[in-house]
Chain A
């Protein structure tokens, strides 16, 4: 396997940029599909346990004058997910609705999960999410810079920022709900996606020792990526398999967490192969050219 990744890197960066910009455009014009953790509101999850028509629930809602959306979810579509915006007299409205549902479908309390979040929590969550993301980037940058060198650290962080942007863009494009599980997914990817980038840089370091300056930056990185390719794909694949199992079998909140992770794993593998290494080459070559120009 001998593929020249470095010289084609502009194509790869463009592909990523297109996805990120589409996501950004959707975010600007439609906004992200923020869930109650960020916006406040109530979600009622009920296991009805038999086939039902969501229109029946909608008519209960409209008879009580409640504005809410109803989605059929779960195995055999026997669960209902009712989402409403935050209102002042939340708990009374909720109680009446739950009573009506219990009566209509003859249900016990055990089949309900009700999450109510006030409008103030979201601010903290947003702040904490951004803080946590940035802080983990900084720590990882420091770590990689110490273990390798500053430029590898920056290249690795660029790849990580890329992964987070892709995850957010994918969430915007797919209109997935963004709640705290999404934030956890982003941080997990920050910790995980760097792994295969490290493997490549580890190999680059080794090849530099082995070949010195007899090979160019680009040749070394190409060689390293090709040599590590099986590793990069297999390590991601095993994790991808388990997360797919989570997505297929898990309940709603687990799906909310595993879908962004799946996107992150793909994006992480992509950015490791197509972005981190080539970026490092580009940077080194430019500073080399500047040095040569300065020497003249």
Chain B
């Protein structure tokens, strides 16, 4: 019994030591390589540097076409960013009339913000590269169907545009006229007949949704809605790196302080809580990497804060154990009673923290959500390490017959 427990304890400590080493330094075995966890973490743009812009679309709340217009605007922006070689950018709708653009790791954030806001250019270009008409010539564009189920865009031109277009379709009969937005071809219809009246059809859409978006784009010749920048945040890479460095430093110092406190105040169980804390830190980092959670500056704050909360469960358990020991119970009985009696308070406290986290996640925007995610992750993981892991290890120690009550801080 004693031997077995001792061996298990030794193996657990060994595993934690190896895992910590790998997490910090990585590992190379032949062709396989495990990178250090720090390198695997996806950093948010407030740490890498980059651009965060929120646009507000000028749409009446009751506009039935609202979603389409937003979608169209997102498509235009995507086009422009692709052209500026920004493939890492994320563009997402927020709420009902806002669009959030995030571009990590750029050195010229202000320029990009300008690119996004430039009025777009719609052009019909002939096979010889000549511009036939532009967005200004378009009077209206409507989505519709031809031959029953084929989605198309019907467009109508102003008289002057119609004249130019009539000449071109005559000249390029049977050839392709490219429709180009911001330099990107969006459609390449073939001219099947001369179009004298300035009314035409663009084919080649997958579905009616796409036709709607294209119609929207053509009608405005640019962004389908008036967009205002309501929030622009640019973070310089140097400043981001500095924020990360100091966040990690805060984490290490915070962890060490908690470590020391638990050890000094709770002695042997405190040491076990510290082991649990190491496991906790490893697990949180591992989950962050595996689940591809983007770590932002508030996210780091959430993790550091949760380190302080992680040992709270241990404090409750150990205080209970002390009470039971003072009441004259044996070590094992005190341990079991300590865990079972403290559990309801631990569970309730964690649930309330999770409630606040869920509310933050729901109401918060970008950075605040990052904080809420890591905080909730921390709460869930610490529930496991502080209760399950600690209990298991303490049991093993008691099996080894470490019975001196002084070691337990009584």
Contacts and interface: CB of A to CB of B under 8 A. Distances in A.
Interface of A: 45, 47, 95, 98, 108-118, 120-121, 128-129, 131-132, 135-136, 139-140, 143-144, 147, 180-181, 183-184, 187-188, 190-192, 194-196, 198-199, 202, 206, 227, 230-231, 234-235, 237-246, 248-251, 253-254, 257-258, 261
A126 to B, nearest CB: 12
Given A199-B345, A245-B250, 13 more contacts: A110-B239, A144-B348, A184-B372, A191-B355, A194-B349, A194-B352, A231-B319, A235-B315, A243-B305, A245-B253, A246-B247, A248-B253, A257-B298
27 contacts: A47-B238, A95-B110, A111-B236, A111-B238, A113-B235, A118-B56, A118-B229, A120-B56, A183-B368, A184-B364, A188-B375, A191-B353, A191-B357, A192-B309, A192-B356, A195-B349, A202-B344, A227-B323, A234-B315, A234-B319, A238-B315, A239-B308, A243-B308, A249-B249, A250-B243, A251-B239, A251-B247
Chain B residues touching A, range: 35 or more
Contacts of A199: 316, 345, 349
B308 to A, nearest CB: 3
Nearest to A114: B234
Contacts of A184: 298, 360, 364, 368, 371-372
A235 B312 contact: yes
B304 interface: yes
Interface in B361-408: 362-365, 367-368, 371-372, 375
Given A112-B239, A198-B348, A230 B319 contact: yes
Q: Shortest 6 CB-CB distances between A and B: which pairs?
A: A191-B356, A239-B308, A242-B254, A242-B308, A195-B349, A245-B254
Contact of A109 (B107, B253, B254, B355): B107
A261 B127 CA distance: 65
B155 to A, nearest CB: 34
Contact of B353 (A109, A147, A183, A195): A195
A241 B254 contact: yes
B358 to A, nearest CB: 8
A232 to B, nearest CB: 10
A132 B349 contact: no
Contacts of A115: 231-234
A6 to B, nearest CB: 21
B49 interface: yes
A112 B253 CA distance: 28
A242 B234 contact: no
For the complex, would chain A's binding face be called helix, strand, loop or mixed by DSSP majority?
A: helix
Contact of B258 (A108, A112, A194, A241): A241
B236 A109 contact: yes
Contact of A110 (B49, B255, B298): B49
B307 A117 contact: no
Interface string B31-56: 00000000000000000010000101
A211 to B, nearest CB: 16
Contact of B242 (A131, A194, A239, A251): A251
Interface string B241-281: 01100110111011101100110010000000000000000
B363 A234 contact: no
Contacts of B356: 136, 140, 187-188, 190-192
A173 to B, nearest CB: 23
B59 to A, nearest CB: 14
Contacts of A140: 352, 355-356
Contact of B246 (A117, A187, A227, A251): A251
Contact of A187 (B311, B354, B359): B359
Nearest to B312: A235
Contacts of B232: 114-116
A202 B345 contact: yes
A254 B254 CA distance: 14
A126 B387 CA distance: 39
A151 B142 CA distance: 62
B301 interface: yes
B191 interface: no
B312 A246 contact: no
B98 to A, nearest CB: 9
B242 A47 contact: yes
Q: Which of A110, A143, A190 has the most CB of B within 10 A?
A: A110
B351 A143 contact: yes
